[in-house]
Amino acid sequence: MGGGISSTNKAPPRPSSNSKLKTAYTALQAWKLAISEDPNGILSTWVGPNVCSYKGVFCSDSRNAVSDGDQYISGIDLNHGNLRGTIVDELSSLSDLTLLHLNSNRFSGSVPGTFKDLSLLQELDLSNNNFSGSFPSIVLEIPNLIYLDLRFNSFSGTIPEELFEGKLDAIFLNNNQFEGELPESLGNAQASVINFANNRFSGTIPSVFGAMASRIKEILFLNNQLTGCIPEGVRFFSEVKVFDVSYNSLMGHLPDSVSCLNQIEVLNLGHNRLSGVLTDIVCSLKNLMNLTVSYNFFSGLSQECSKLVVTNVGFDFSDNCIPNKGMQRPPPECSVIPGGDMSCFRIPSPQPLVCGSMAGFPGPANVAGLIAATP
């Protein structure tokens, strides 16, 4: 190809007269300098003042826009770019930014403290990168953030109480190295999706978890180090479709309030230390598509549970202590039930159980004494 410019080609864009785009140009060029590897050549388009033509940069027009003077950057999506670098302070000058998606790159370092100035940012996706260190609490100061995705990084330490005090609708922290107990403020969560899988969380699931959870649809706590009981608060999970607490060390009987999981489709309790008889309240859930209770210490199946074996519901009850069933634990493993067959919150409750109601529900101050209630 020749180096000349054809007369049919459009003239290069003139420098923008829009102060917002000028500011954006400065910010993006500063960020470009902080990116050391770009194997896909994405940044080769980040040349010149026309930032709206940059790959991965999305501009919007103000209402009744007639020129570039009414344009602004509303989104940046560099997902799967395989870029190596850091995030720079200058990005906080993009005051109209509503989404920043950086999934599947090799960014590292920290989230700039100036990000709290991104007052319109709603979606922040930093998943599948090389971030490390403590939870980036500055993101909780972004006033309109509703989607936070930090999964598949190397963040560590505890998570702040404030995480559940805001308006976040989706919280993805899975596949990091977070540890410590889940905060009591989890009971205030307004999110529809909470994914804490594949971390190192320990302690019990807060007893009041669910009290404010009318919107929650998916809860994934699998593969942590959680102990204690499945809380009575599941009575509030009337809209939950996925509840996965597998690969932990939860003990005791299932609470009667499991019957309140009216919309549940996937219930995974496998690889814990749960015990007792698996009752009708679990196996008669009308929307159930997959029930996994394998690798526990259940000692029997109710009539409804026995029926699941011949239905279209995926039902895995292997490696328990159920008599006259195949693929169960050897008898010596069933002689001592972990947790002493603790029944957890089997306390007198309204009959019939009132789902979604605080009636009969133990307050935080009263729960501690109920954990070892009589069977």
10 Å Cβ neighbour count for 119? 13
| pLDDT digits 0-9 by tens, 82-93 | 999 999 999 999
According to the model, what pLDDT value does residue 208 have? 79
Rounded Cα–Cα distance for residues 230 and 226 (Å): 10
Q: What pLDDT score does 5 carry?
A: 31
Residue 327: Cβ within 10 Å count: 11
Average pLDDT over residues 159-169: 94
Q: Are strands 99-101 and 71-77 parallel, antiparallel or unpaired?
A: parallel
Q: Taking a C-beta distance cutoff of 8 angstroms, is the pair 216, 241 a contact?
A: no
Looking at CATH, the fold of the domain delimited by 61-370 is given as 3.80.10
pLDDT score of 60 more than 50? yes
Q: Alpha-carbon distance 152 to 275, whole Å?
A: 33
Per-residue pLDDT for 198 more than 70?
A: yes
**Mean pLDDT along residues 155-166:** 95
- Tell me the two tokens of residue 300: 């029997």
- Domain ranges in the chain are 61-370
**Residue of 126, 77, 67 whose CA lies nearest to 98:** 77
Query: Where is average pLDDT lowest: 102-116, 261-275, 292-306, 339-353?
Result: 339-353
Q: Is residue 241 predicted with pLDDT exceeding 90?
A: yes
From the list 139, 72, 134, 68, the residue with the least C-alpha distance to 102 is: 139
pLDDT, average across residues 28-57: 98
Nearest to 281 by CA among 303, 311, 249, 297: 303
Beta-ladder partners of 140? none
Q: Per-residue pLDDT for 26 more than 70?
A: yes
* Structure confidence at residue 233 as a pLDDT band (50, 70, 90): confident
Q: Are 107 and 87 in contact (CB under 8 A)?
A: yes
pLDDT digit string, tens, across residues 323-346: 999 999 999 999 987 765 555 655
| The pLDDT of residue 299 is above 50 | yes
Averaged confidence pLDDT in the chain:
87
**Span of 266-270, 292-296, 299-303 with lowest mean pLDDT:** 299-303
Task: Say if residue 366's pLDDT is above 70.
Answer: no
The C-alpha atoms of residue 221 and residue 196 are separated, in whole angstroms, by 5
Whether the CB-CB separation of 169 and 192 falls below 8 Å is answered with yes
Read off the tokens for 88: 């720079």
pLDDT grade, residue 236 (50/70/90)? confident
